[in-house]
Amino acid sequence: MDLQEFRAGLDRWLDEEAGALAADPAVHGSLDAQMAQLSKVKRMAYDAGWMRWGWPERVGGLGGSPLVRGYLGEALTARDLVEPGIYSMTEVLAPTMIDYAPPELAATMVPRLLRGDETWCQGFSEPGTGSNLAALSCRATRDADGWRVTGQKVWTSLAQYADRCVLLTRTGTPESAHRGLTALFVDMDSPGITVRPIETMHGLEEFSEVFFDDVAVPGDRTLGQEGQGWSVAMDLLPYERSTSLWHRGAYLHRRLDHVLAAAPPGALDAAAVGDVFLQLHALRARSRATQRRLAAGERLGAETSVDKVLLATAEQAVFDLALDGLADGVLLGDDAASARWRSQYLYSRAATIYGGSAEIQRNIIARRLLDLGADR
């Protein structure tokens, strides 16, 4: 199925099923409700086939270009059916499993993620390693049946909902840096795992701390080879900055549209509105080119840091404009719409922090794209 055919068919299906797919109006104030909505939409889209196109047949997909996944997330976001942040875990973790899991494991597990039967999380960051991922210390040691894991993760999105975790562990010496890391696929109901959600500024407990106390993980749950964890992590990041980023761009487009519709006359400055649209257009143009490179089978790398910088900057610009145009509601309103704007405005403050901070992205651009040499 090509993109045009997919687009037309999906749009028709979304129109026909609009009633059944629609979210409860109260969905935005509750992460539980958002997760239930996400599962519902994924299940319906999977059963109708839309969620399966663009994925390989060996993991339950129907094949075809990954571009159609870009359009699926765009369409679901544009119709306000899913929040792009929680939807993005599918686009980030399924390719990792396809590339690195033992084939039988991928064939069993990926369909559950695509269908919304399961939620997965990504255990990378630790209290001592925010930007410096290679320094992580959550330790996995070999035993007769596989691995025993002890340590702590933090900023793990959706951990309290997750059935599985793609977990990055230290299997080498503490000094082995990026060479001594191994990725594991861990069942979140394993004895010894404790999840503690973090209360954040924007009011939704999206992130958690996760504690591992001598957790047993079978050996066949190793993703890639022992010591290959850094490759798993590095290959995952471009996915975060390709299809998921396209979805997030579509979401920002939609929110800017809402700002324009909702702001009272005179509240918005024309130059500021033009500037934000210009930023979104640059993001869309760049992300579109990245999507097309991905679809052509190119290996994405450091150049996606440019996409990430454009996204983070544009996201904050959209919600800065929302604050300008809807100040009364964002700051003082107690209705549901105002609460949603407020939550999203506050969440946008983190856009330059999560997924590789703005500074890290610029370091990567300097080192890898401009070839400026070492920074010390």
Catalytic residues: 240
Whichever of 170 and 253 has its CB closer to another protein, that residue is: 253
Using CB under 8 A, which of 22, 48, 177, 273 touches another protein?
273
The 67-96 contact track toward another protein, x by CB under 8 A, reads: x--xx--x----------------------
HEC sequence for 76-105: HHHCCCCCHHHHHHHHHHHHHHHHHCCHHH
How far is residue 340 CA from its own chain's centroid?
A: 20
**Is position 296 an interface residue for another protein (rule: CB under 8 A)?**
no
Contact call for residues 186 and 162 (beta carbons, < 8 A): no
**Is position 293 an interface residue for another protein (rule: CB under 8 A)?**
no
Contact call for residues 194 and 149 (beta carbons, < 8 A): no
Using CB under 8 A, which of 189, 332, 334, 376 touches another protein?
376
Q: 53 is written with which tokens?
A: 């196109």
d(CA 216, CA 146): 7
d(CA 43, CA 343): 27
**Is position 260 an interface residue for another protein (rule: CB under 8 A)?**
yes
Q: 321 is written with which tokens?
A: 């404009």
Q: How far is the CB of 365 from another protein (least distance, A)?
A: 4
Number of C-beta neighbours around residue 139 at 10 A: 16
Q: Which stretch binds another protein (CB under 8 A): 81-89, 192-200, 219-227, 360-368?
A: 360-368
Using CB under 8 A, which of 213, 257, 298, 328 touches another protein?
257
**Is position 256 an interface residue for another protein (rule: CB under 8 A)?**
yes
Contact call for residues 88 and 70 (beta carbons, < 8 A): no
Q: How far is the CB of 294 from another protein (least distance, A)?
A: 12
**Is position 359 an interface residue for another protein (rule: CB under 8 A)?**
yes
Q: 281 is written with which tokens?
A: 């257009």
**Is position 354 an interface residue for another protein (rule: CB under 8 A)?**
no
**Is position 12 an interface residue for another protein (rule: CB under 8 A)?**
no
Residue type, 342: R
Q: How far is the CB of 255 from another protein (least distance, A)?
A: 10
Whichever of 200 and 363 has its CB closer to another protein, that residue is: 363
Beta-ladder partners of 165: 121, 186
**Is position 373 an interface residue for another protein (rule: CB under 8 A)?**
yes
Helix axes 31-47, 103-114, angle to 10 degrees: 110
**Is position 289 an interface residue for another protein (rule: CB under 8 A)?**
yes
Beta-ladder partners of 195: 210
Quick one: which of 117, 115, 114, 100 has its CA closest to 185?
100
Chain positions contacting another protein, by CB under 8 A: 3, 7, 67, 70-71, 74, 246, 253, 256-257, 260-261, 268-275, 277-278, 281-286, 288-289, 291, 306, 309-310, 359, 361-363, 365-367, 369-376
